[in-house]
Structure 1
């Protein structure tokens, strides 16, 4: 039986999803930020005859994310019907083995489909502090334009503005560590979508002329250390195999591929 979830179901949903904080980073983060119901967010749950929760579906604006502890208990046909009847389906994302159970039942043309590797790091793993350079600094929110300028010089189609980044830093869902030369950022690592139990690592970058000096690794390990101290599990997306090998050396292990679909 599928029904819409309300704030009365908050503890039930958090218990259901919090055992895998990295896998459910976006679901948990949206619940923390927006609650359980409203114009921005809607949650549904699928229950068996005994009243046990089998799977959930989150809508954040036009994006939908499903989750089930056991993929075999996820009803792809029914969840597809919920998404279509909402009239708000624009984006669909989640763990590949869950998303692929629902996609065949959505009779809407797909504009784009993308797969990324998804990895996490156990918070109990030791951290080699000797790899952290002494000149790694933490960015203040009012300095957001510095890291945005660095990313714009490295990443194509980067869209985040200084005000957007500062807003996220002010509310505690993002932080940045960096190294600078001549009063200019040359390498940085940030977090995004931080929740009580996990955080997404993003924006790992170094200016070309400063590559292969351990700058990004130092910023990354500093970030991992800060998150671990707060019992937040670091996780990240990547699609570059060489980047994946670097992350594996730092203790990240694959979760599963993350699938993103645009309609």
Structure 2
């Protein structure tokens, strides 16, 4: 039986999803930030006859994410019906094997379909301290403009603003470590969407003239060490094989691919 969830269901949902903080980073993060009910967020659950959760579906604005511990128990047809009847879907995303069960039953034009590698790191895994350079710095919120300038010089179509980065840092859901030369950042790593149990690593970059010197690996290792000290599991997306080799070197293991379908 599928029904909309309320705050009374919070503990059951957190128990259901909380055992896999990396896989459910966005679901758990949205619940922490917005609760179970609201204009921006809706959560549904599919229950068996004993009242046990089989799967859940999150809506944040026009973005939907399904999750089930056991993919065999995810009702793709049922969730597709909920999504279509909401008349709000812009994106459907999640672990590939779960999303594919849902999109098979959605008869809407697909604008784009994207797959990324998704990986996580055991927070109890030790970190090689020799990888962390002594000149790695932590960014202060008022310095956000430095990182915006660095990323715009490296990433095409980079759109985040200093204000957005600063607000996220002030909320405690983002942090950045960087290395600078001549008083300007040349390499950095950030987190976003930090929850009580996990954090998404983003913005791993190094200026071309400073590549192959271990700068990004050092910033990444520093970030991992800080997250592990807070018992947060690092996770990340990537589609670049070279980046994948760096992540494997510091202990990231693949979960599976993450699928994003745009309607």
Q: Deviations over 1:204-225 (max 9, x none)?
A: 0000011111111110000000
SS at match of 2:217: helix
1:246 shift after superposition = 1.4
TM normalised by structure 1 equals 0.99
Superposition deviation, residue 249 in structure 1:
1.2
Q: Determine helix, strand or coil for the equivalent of 2:157.
A: coil
Determine the structure 1 residue equivalent to 2:26.
Answer: 26
Q: State the SS of the aligned residue for 1:257.
A: strand
2:48 is the alignment partner of 1:39: no
| Residue in structure 2 matched with residue 72 of structure 1 by the alignment | 72
Q: In structure 1, what is the Cα distance between the partners aligned to 2:4 and 2:194? A: 26
Which residue does 1:140 correspond to in 2? 140
Name the structure 2 match of 1:202.
202
CA distance in 1, matches of 2:158, 2:42: 29
2:189 is the alignment partner of 1:186: no
Partner of 2:15: 15
CA distance in 1: counterparts of 2:241 and 2:130, whole angstroms: 26
Residue 57 (structure 1) shift? 0.2
Following superposition, the deviation at residue 245 of structure 1 comes to 1.3
Q: 2:220 matched to which residue of 1? A: 220
Q: Please list the CA deviations of residues 36-59 of structure 1 after superposition, one character each: whole Å capped at 9, or x if unmatched.
A: 011100000000011110000000
RMSD after superposition: 0.5
Distance 2:131 2:2 in 1: 50
Residue 114 of structure 1: CA displacement? 0.2
State the partner residue of 2:107: 107
For residues 173 and 59 of structure 2, the distance between their equivalents in structure 1, rounded to whole angstroms, comes to 20
Tell me the distance in 2 between the aligned counterparts of 1:170 and 1:51. Answer: 39
Summarize deviations over 1:94-132 as a string: whole Å, max 9, x none.
000000000011000000000000000001111111111
**Structure 1 counterpart of 2:5:** 5
- Identify unmatched segments of 5+ residues in structure 2: none
- 1:174 aligned onto 2:195: no
Structure 1 alignment gaps of length 5 or more? none
Secondary structure at the aligned position of 1:150 is classed as helix
1:96 maps to 96
Instruction: Detail structure 1 runs of 4+ shifted over 4 Å in the superposition.
Output: none
What is the rounded CA distance, in whole Å, between the counterparts of 1:209 and 1:217 in structure 2?
16
Structure 1 SS opposite 2:104: helix
Cα offset, 1:202, TM superposition: 0.2
CA offset at residue 157 of structure 1? 1.2
Aligned residues: 263
